[in-house]
């Protein structure tokens, strides 16, 4: 639907300047030529309007889908046999990739910051910068991005295939609510396990950063950790974990919604998987910004005197 609207928008955009030039107007049709630019502008506006309506419809549909998921979540918990595979798939199998990403990001941060800090003779403060960046931002965002890439796309493709092959209809026809059976366990696994994955990414990042700084860059061990301890507090850790809950919810809902609304055919399933990742990633970034602003305000309100100088 959105693809069609975009495709419709493109020709009218292309048409606009062409029809506006006098030499392109057909001979002997001055009146028509005079209205042509207006017509093209009207077409363009109509297409734009259609695109806006399509976007709002999709957003409304996602909101309804979220409401239905929450209603089923609070009315009846899913069965153990649906929960455990979802938890295993989303939590256990994502652990290595999240840990690896965290480790390397910690080390990369050390590599990138060391030269600048050394110039100012502040290399012992590396720990504060690396650990603060990891715990507040990079840990949760990277864990969520990995989850969106590894699990979001797979969930959208799996549910999309089930939609295309009528397996979701078959579930409903047997008196099983597809949202309760398919979406609630995945959603629950995403929001319950993403904080643990975030903590894992944080931990491995801290270890990676410390290893590279202390072992390879010869930064003083004692001061590295003292500065880290002084500048990274529990609220910073809380901010990262708190944000990850929203990221997990967004990944679960967007991926399942894309799968449920998959277009027919192999192309439709592929598109659902791609869109699940892209939409999840954009939502993660938007949520990160707005939650960051909100939590910073809370932080300043609770500890107005707290100095945040590294």
The binding site for another protein (CB under 8 A) comprises 1, 68, 165-167, 169-170, 172-177
Spacing of C-alpha 283 from chain mean position: 5
Beta-carbon count within 10 A of 239 CB: 21
**Shortest CB 68 distance to another protein, Å:** 8
**Cβ atoms 9, 48 nearer than 8 A:** yes
Minimum CB distance to another protein smaller for 6 or for 293: 6
Minimum distance, C-beta of residue 135 to another protein, in the bound complex (Å) = 38
Residue 94 CA to residue 99 CA, distance in Å, equals 9
Question: With respect to another protein, which residue has the nearer C-beta, 30 or 169?
Answer: 169
If you ran DSSP here, which 8-state letter would residue 217 be given? S
Place of tokens 């061990």: 221
Smallest separation, CB 31 to another protein (Å): 20
**Cα separation, 304 vs 310, whole angstroms:** 17
Q: Which 3-state string (H, E, C) describes 242-275?
A: HHHHHHHHHHHHHHHHHHHCCCCHHHHHHHHHHH
Round to whole Å and give the CA distance between 130 and 255. Answer: 32
Select 49 or 96, whichever has its Cβ closest to another protein: 49
Sort 31 into a burial class: Cβ within 10 Å, 0-12 / 13-18 / 19+.
Answer: exposed
Kindly tell me which of 19 and 239 has the beta carbon lying closer to another protein.
19
Q: Smallest distance, Å, CB 162 to another protein? A: 8
Give the shortest CB-92-to-another protein separation in angstroms. Answer: 18
Other beta carbons within 10 angstroms of residue 294's beta carbon come to 13
CB of 89 to another protein, least distance (A): 12
* Minimum distance of another protein from residue 183's CB (angstroms): 13
Query: Of 4 and 297, which has the nearer Cβ to another protein?
Result: 4
Question: Cα(205)–Cα(195) distance, rounded to whole angstroms?
Answer: 15
Nearer to another protein, 52 or 172 (CB): 172
In the bound state with another protein, the residue whose beta carbon lies nearer, of 87 and 225, is: 87
């Amino acid at each position: 639907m959105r693809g069609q609207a975009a495709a419709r928008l493109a020709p009218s955009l292309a048409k606009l300047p062409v029809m506006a030039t006098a030499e392109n107007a057909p001979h002997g049709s001055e009146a028509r030529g005079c209205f042509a630019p207006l017509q093209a502008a009207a077409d363009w506006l109509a297409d734009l309007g259609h695109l806006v309506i399509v976007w709002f419809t999709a957003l409304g549909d996602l909101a309804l889908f979220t409401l239905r998921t929450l209603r089923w979540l609070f009315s009846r918990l899913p069965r153990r046999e649906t929960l455990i595979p979802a938890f295993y798939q989303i939590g256990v199998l994502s652990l290595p990739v999240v840990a690896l990403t965290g480790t390397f990001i910690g080390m990369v941060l050390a590599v990138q910051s060391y030269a600048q800090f050394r110039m100012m003779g502040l290399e012992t403060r590396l720990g504060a910068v690396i650990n603060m960046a990891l715990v507040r931002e990079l840990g949760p965002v990277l864990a969520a991005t990995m989850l969106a890439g590894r699990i979001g796309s797979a969930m959208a493709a799996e549910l999309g295939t089930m939609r295309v092959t009528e397996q979701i209809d078959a579930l409903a026809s047997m008196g099983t609510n597809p949202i309760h059976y398919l979406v609630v366990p995945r959603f629950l696994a995403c929001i319950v396990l993403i904080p643990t994955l975030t903590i894992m990414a944080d931990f491995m990042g801290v270890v990676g950063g410390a290893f590279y700084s202390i072992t390879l860059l010869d930064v003083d061990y004692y001061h590295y950790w003292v500065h880290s301890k002084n500048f990274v507090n529990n609220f910073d850790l809380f901010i990262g974990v708190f944000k990850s809950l929203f990221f997990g919810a967004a990944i679960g809902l967007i991926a399942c919604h894309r799968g449920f609304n998959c277009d027919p055919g192999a192309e439709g399933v592929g598109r659902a998987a791609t869109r699940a990742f892209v939409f999840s990633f954009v939502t993660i970034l938007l949520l990160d910004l707005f939650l960051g602003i909100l939590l910073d305000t809370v932080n300043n309100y609770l500890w107005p005197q707290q100095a945040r100088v590294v």
